[in-house]
Every structure is written in C-alpha cells, then in structure tokens.
C-alpha cells in the first residue's frame, strides 16, 4: 500500500498532509521586486529615447539621406493600365511625380514629416518628464495603469448571471443556546476561530494556508503554485455563522479584489470544487452577495476542460489557464479516483440552478449513468476507474480515503433534491448494503469498524476519514428501505463509539490517522506514519449528526473533550498546528494550519453547542467540506421558473 506521505490526494476531503516539517513555496521579497521593476521601466524609457532620437535624425528634411529618399520616390516606375481596353496593361509606364501630381505629393510628404516631427518632440518631452520623476512616482504610475487594466478585465469577465429565485433560507441567524454552560462552550469555540483567523490574517493573508510556528504562508500541490487564498474561501461561511461579520467582510473584499482563476496553475479538481466552489456558493446563499456567485461560476468554467476525456470521467487535475488535465501518477494505471469524480454532484447541480446552464448538471449525471452501467465486484465500487477505457483499475474498495465522499454525495443528492432524486437514494442503499455485508465487522472487543477490501480480502484497519460514516448512517436512516431506520441509527452510534475510543486510547486524547483491529490491538495506530493528527473534522462531524438525531448528551461531552485537547495540544501563538504523534506526551508540530480546520472542525464544534434551529437539516445539506447548501424544495413555487432544475 502506498504510504500516506506519498499520496498527493487520499479521499473524502484531502490527502494526508506533510508529516514532517513542510517546506512552503518561497516568494520574492517585495522590495527586490520593486527595484527590478524600476530598473526595467528606466531601461524601457532610455530605449524609447534613443529610438526617438534616431527617428528624428532619420526624418530631418534637409539631410542628404532624405533627399535620396525623395529622389527614389520620384523615379519609381509603376505599370500604366489602359482602362479603355478592359483594364488590361497596354505595356506603357508612368513616371510617379510627373506633371501636376508632383507638387501635391510633395505637400503630402511635407505634412507627414511635420506630423512625425511633432510626435517625436512630444514623445521626447514626455520621456524627459519621466526621467525627472522619482522611482516611487514611476512605480505609482505603473500601479495605476495595472489597476486600470485589471478593472477593465474584471468588468469584461464578469458577465451578469440570469436572475434566479433564491430558495427560502431558514435558520441562518439562530441557534443561541439558553443553557449558560453550553453557551460558554460555544463562545470558546468562537474564540478559537478568531485565534485561527487573526493569525492567518496577520501572517498568511492571501496564501492558501498558514504555517503557524514559522508564521508565514503555506501551500500544497492540490492548490498548484498560486496564492488562491484557500483559507479565506474555506472559512467564510464559518465566520458568517458565528456572527464574525467584520472578518467576513475582510474575506469578501480580498475575494472581490484579488481572487483570480486565470492563473497558470495546476489544481485538484476535487479539492477546488469542495473548498472553493462549495465555499463560494455557501457564502452566497448565506450573505446574498453576488460576488461569491460570480466567482463560483468563473471557477466552474475553468474546471470543465477536465471532463474532456474519452469517457467523460474527469481528470484529477487541470491547469486553470490551459485547460490541460491529467491524473495522479500514483493512481492505479492512470486511473481517476472514485471519491474525486464522485464528489461533484451537489456543487454542480447548484451551478446549473443558479446559471440556467445545464452543462454542469449534465456532466455529473453522465458520470452517474456510466457508473450504473458497470459491473461491480460483490456490489462494491472499486476506488479506481480509468477515464480512457472506462474500466475499473485495482479492486480496492474503501469507505475511507479514495472512496468515502462518493457514497456521501449519493445520499446528499437525494436530500438536496427534496428527496425527489430517488435514483441517487437507490444507489446509496445498494452501496450501503454491500458495504455492510463485506466491509463492516465487530472486533473481538466488541467495537464495530469499517475495513477496506483489497484484492479479495478484508484489511482490518479503519482511517480517521472513515469516521464520517457514523454521521452518514444517521443522516440516511430516515428513508432507508425495509424500515431499517432504527438499525442505521444504531450503526451510526456504534461507529461514533469506535471513533471515540480511537481518541480516548491516545495520550493526547486526539485520534490517529488510522487504527488497527488485529489480535489484541484495537482502535490503536501501529505504524509511526499513522499516529499523526492534522486537525481533521470527521469524528466531530459524526458527534454533531448523532447529537442532532438523538440529543444524547454524551456526544456534546465527547465533542468538548476533543475541543479541549485541540486547544491544549494544537494551539500555538501563531494559530493551530497538527501534531505528529498523538501517543507522545511531548509531541512535535507539523506546522500547518489546514484550511479545513476553519471550514469544518470549528464549524461542527460550534454547531454541536448551538440549538438545532441553526442550519436545520431539513433545509440545508452540508457538502463534504462542511459548506451548507440549501435544499432545492421543488414544492416551493419560487423555484418553478428555472427550467434547468425542473
């Protein structure tokens, strides 16, 4: 098995990140760049000055060179055409400049010389003025021109979108708990969010993520080589829900003025979809600010070339500028990954709804139709599918990394459609039945876990990413076939218990990346490269769903334990960092504040200590990055005008 450190991408949300001290991209110092720009501009001005001087000399009317030029014009021979004979050449020639035309041509040439001389004198004066200005004044003029061009391009690229009725939005500004103890805990989560945001604002603004110990920006290959402000986009809806509106406004202004998708950068289609398009759409629905919708549609257009494959299964990566796509080199025989191409449906349906353009809906429905036609070994979906041949790659099935959010989006497509997309619900039910039959087991100690199917046998290991499944089973309990709602709610509770044990059996009370169920080892990481915690949200996510559906106080207690552990062991003066070994009493930091920590972990904790009327689940569906998107209630007459969604 490829170790997590080698996987650029590994499932539902994001690949296992750098386990050691990670290197971030180096950026040129501003001052050095300024000096270089000034020198470049001065050289341009000097070149223009020399060229103009030479031009002025060349066109002086009294020069012998120019006299030769005049003589040449007078002596040019051109064919004489006899128009009286059908326009055919009669064989004669006229001498240019003979007769009365000679004087007229000389006047025209003189006017031309005067105009050139005047233009050159004007240019020389302008160049002289430029050379007399200070470097700061020159730089200011350059910046002004750049801003004009940028504004022009922005206005050109911001095509107005058709007006679409916004769904009835419920529970945006609710959720205040009456219990003082619960309110105090929720306020603590809000304080943690402010600490994470303010340090990113100070040390990593505009970069994708933050290195809180080094106090500088950080990025990974999923975002390419550009500063796209991933943390800003990912955190917007959390800020809004928490009532941090000044911080929200800061983020909005950066997005409006600096977020540019026309960069020469290769990005993960999956990650950019769930973080950027999901985050922008959620921010739009919550705030009503059009800029977020416009940016989401601009980015979606940049992702569409990834679907240009023989099968329509998209590439894992696409260059935002060139549109060239490719797959991860480590993925089975050049395959695309189930959890990546299967985690586009929610966002793309909303894009078609908001734009009236069916292309987004058609892309994801094509993927679904293709999958329905394919044979599935033991009813399971393998994690790899070749986009060229349309055949499965290695027969590896997982409800954790590489597979997870595909199953999540089947259920959520049904929920988001106001439970009208019965095809998606059937696919989810069929998949869960196969998973329960082949992947879910009980350990000797009575812990329910979800293993991974590899090459015909079950690997008795569960990843932190897989822990989202407890919440998923609870969310899908209502509406399950054969009246098995109680069964799936209980299954969700068992998964939540197992994942809590994986936290409780560590020194830091934070869960490892993966844990085994072999022999006497249960819910414990064995390999060193699986002992890290990178601020992941999946366990807390399951606690929140289980709280919403059961109101069992243990889920709030477990969530508070996790929040305290994060605040104690992951908090540093410059933000929050992951730790490399949850079994060590003196852990070392990985020095990365992940964008999903603000988007998911802190949001789920805040919701856990809020009342249920904040983002109620019959009106909102959360994408796999915890960005809430409204249910498109077909019974709501305000939606009837959109022919695409209808």
Cα–Cα nearest to 372, from 426, 304, 310: 426
Cα–Cα nearest to 538, from 183, 1, 19, 16: 16
pLDDT at 47: 66
301-318 CB burial, b ≥16 within 10 A, e <16: bbbbbbbebebbbbbbbb
The whole-chain average pLDDT of the chain stands at 85
DSSP string, 98-161: -TTHHHHHHHHHHHHHHHHHHHHHHHHHHHHHHHHS-HHHHHHHHHHHHHHHHHHHHHHH-PPP
Query: What tokens appear for 612 in the block?
Result: 């249920």
pLDDT at 158: 54
Choosing from 340, 513, 600, 625, the catalytic residue is 513
**Contacts for 54-58 with beta carbons within 8 Å, 24 or more apart?**
55/116, 55/120, 56/117, 56/120, 56/121, 56/124
Cα–Cα nearest to 70, from 42, 39, 110: 110
| CA atoms of 392 and 517, how far apart (whole Å) | 29
SS3 55: helix
Cα–Cα nearest to 273, from 289, 285, 264, 261: 261
CA-atom Rg of the chain in angstroms? 32
Query: What tokens appear for 545 in the block?
Result: 């769903």
Length in residues, the chain: 646
Cα–Cα nearest to 296, from 283, 277, 279, 278: 277
CA atoms within 13 A on the CB side of 342: 32
pLDDT at 115: 78
Is the Cβ–Cβ distance between 462 and 515 less than 8 Å? yes
Is the Cβ–Cβ distance between 280 and 233 less than 8 Å? yes
Which residues fall within 8 angstroms of residue 264, CB to CB, at 6 or more apart? 319, 320, 321, 322
SS3 259: coil
SS3 241: helix
Query: What tokens appear for 134 in the block?
Result: 């200070």
pLDDT at 109: 78
pLDDT at 166: 77
Kindly state the DSSP code that residue 614 receives in the 8-state scheme. Answer: S
Phi, psi of 565, rounded to the nearest 5 degrees: -65, -40
- Helix 422-438, helix 359-373: angle, nearest 10: 40
pLDDT at 7: 40
pLDDT at 108: 76
| CA atoms of 515 and 513, how far apart (whole Å) | 7
Helices marked H in 288-403 = 290-303, 338-341, 345-355, 359-373
State pLDDT tens for residues 423-475: 999 999 999 999 999 999 999 999 999 999 998 899 999 999 999 999 999 99
Residue 396 falls in which region: left (phi positive, over 0), alpha (psi -120 to 50) or beta: beta
pLDDT at 325: 98
Is the Cβ–Cβ distance between 608 and 532 less than 8 Å? no
| CA atoms of 260 and 185, how far apart (whole Å) | 38
Query: What tokens appear for 523 in the block?
Result: 């819910």
Cα–Cα nearest to 341, from 376, 311, 378, 297: 311
DSSP string, 512-573: -SEEEEETTEEEE--SGGG--B----HHHHHHHHHHHHH--HHHHHHHHHHHHHHHHHTEET
Which residues of the chain register pLDDT less than 50?
A: 1-11, 13-36, 57-98, 635-646
H or E stretch at 459 = strand 457-459
SS3 249: helix
Is 513 marked active-site?
A: yes
Query: What tokens appear for 233 in the block?
Result: 């986009």
Is the Cβ–Cβ distance between 589 and 215 less than 8 Å? no
The label of the residue with tokens 């734009």 reads 355
| CA atoms of 397 and 221, how far apart (whole Å) | 25
Cα distances from 535 to residues 212, 484, 499, 540, in angstroms, run: 13, 34, 15, 11
Cα–Cα nearest to 629, from 257, 300, 347: 347
């Amino acid at each position: 098995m490829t170790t997590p450190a080698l996987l650029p991408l590994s499932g539902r949300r994001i690949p296992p990140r750098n386990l050691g001290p990670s290197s971030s991209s180096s950026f040129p110092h501003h001052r050095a760049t300024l000096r270089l720009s000034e020198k470049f501009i001065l050289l341009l001005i000097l070149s223009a000055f020399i060229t103009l001087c030479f031009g002025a000399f060349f066109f002086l009317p009294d020069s012998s060179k120019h006299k030769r030029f005049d003589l040449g014009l007078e002596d040019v021979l051109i064919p004489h055409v006899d128009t009286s004979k059908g326009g055919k050449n009669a064989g004669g020639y006229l001498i240019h400049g003979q007769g009365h035309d000679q004087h007229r041509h000389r006047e025209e040439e003189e006017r031309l010389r005067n105009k050139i001389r005047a233009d050159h004198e004007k240019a020389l004066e302008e160049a002289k003025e430029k050379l007399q200005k200070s470097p700061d004044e020159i730089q200011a003029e350059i910046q002004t021109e750049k801003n004009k061009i940028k504004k022009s391009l922005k206005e050109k690229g911001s095509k107005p979108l058709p007006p679409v009725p916004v769904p009835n939005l419920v529970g945006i500004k609710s959720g205040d708990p009456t219990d003082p103890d619960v309110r105090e805990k929720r306020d603590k989560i809000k304080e943690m969010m402010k600490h994470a945001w303010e340090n990113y604002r100070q040390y990593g603004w505009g970069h994708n993520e933050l290195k809180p110990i080094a106090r500088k920006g950080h990025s990974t290959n999923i975002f390419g080589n550009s500063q796209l402000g991933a943390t800003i986009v990912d955190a917007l809806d959390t800020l809004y829900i928490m009532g941090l509106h000044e911080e929200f406004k800061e983020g909005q202004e950066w997005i409006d003025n600096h977020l540019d998708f026309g960069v020469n950068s290769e990005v993960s289609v999956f990650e950019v979809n769930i973080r950027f398009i999901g985050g922008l759409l959620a921010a739009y629905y919550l705030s009503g600010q059009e800029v977020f919708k416009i940016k989401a549609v601009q980015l979606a257009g940049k992702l569409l070339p990834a679907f240009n494959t023989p099968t329509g299964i998209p590439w894992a990566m696409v260059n935002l500028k060139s549109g060239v796509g490719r797959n991860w080199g480590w993925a089975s025989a050049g395959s695309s990954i189930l959890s990546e191409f299967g985690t586009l449906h929610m966002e793309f349906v909303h894009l078609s709804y908001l734009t009236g353009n069916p292309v987004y809906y058609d892309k994801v429905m094509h993927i679904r139709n293709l999958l329905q036609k394919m044979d599935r070994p033991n009813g399971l979906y393998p994690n790899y599918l070749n986009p060229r041949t349309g055949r499965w790659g290695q027969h590896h099935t997982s409800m954790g990394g590489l597979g997870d959010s595909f199953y999540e989006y089947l259920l959520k497509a049904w929920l988001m459609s106001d439970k009208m997309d019965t095809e998606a619900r059937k696919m989810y039910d069929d998949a869960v039945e196969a998973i329960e039959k082949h992947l879910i087991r009980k350990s000797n100690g009575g812990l329910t876990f979800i293993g991974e199917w590899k090459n015909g046998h079950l690997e008795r290991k569960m990843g932190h990413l897989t822990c989202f499944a407890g919440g998923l089973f609870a969310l899908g309990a209502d509406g399950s076939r054969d009246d098995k709602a109680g069964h799936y709610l209980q299954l969700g509770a068992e998964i939540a218990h197992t994942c809590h044990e994986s936290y409780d059996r560590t020194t830091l009370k934070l869960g490892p990346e993966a844990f085994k169920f072999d022999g006497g080892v249960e819910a414990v990481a064995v390999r060193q490269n699986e002992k890290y915690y990178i601020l992941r949200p999946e366990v807390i996510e399951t606690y929140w769903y289980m709280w919403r559906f059961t109101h069992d106080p243990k889920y709030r207690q477990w969530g508070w334990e996790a929040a305290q552990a994060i605040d104690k062991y992951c908090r540093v003066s410059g933000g929050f960092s992951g730790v490399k070994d949850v079994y060590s009493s003196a852990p070392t930091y990985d020095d990365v504040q992940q964008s999903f920590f603000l988007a998911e972990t802190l949001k789920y904790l805040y919701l856990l200590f809020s009342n249920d009327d904040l983002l109620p689940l019959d009106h909102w569906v959360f994408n796999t990055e915890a960005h809430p998107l409204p249910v498109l209630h077909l019974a709501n007459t305000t939606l009837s005008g959109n022919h695409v969604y209808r």
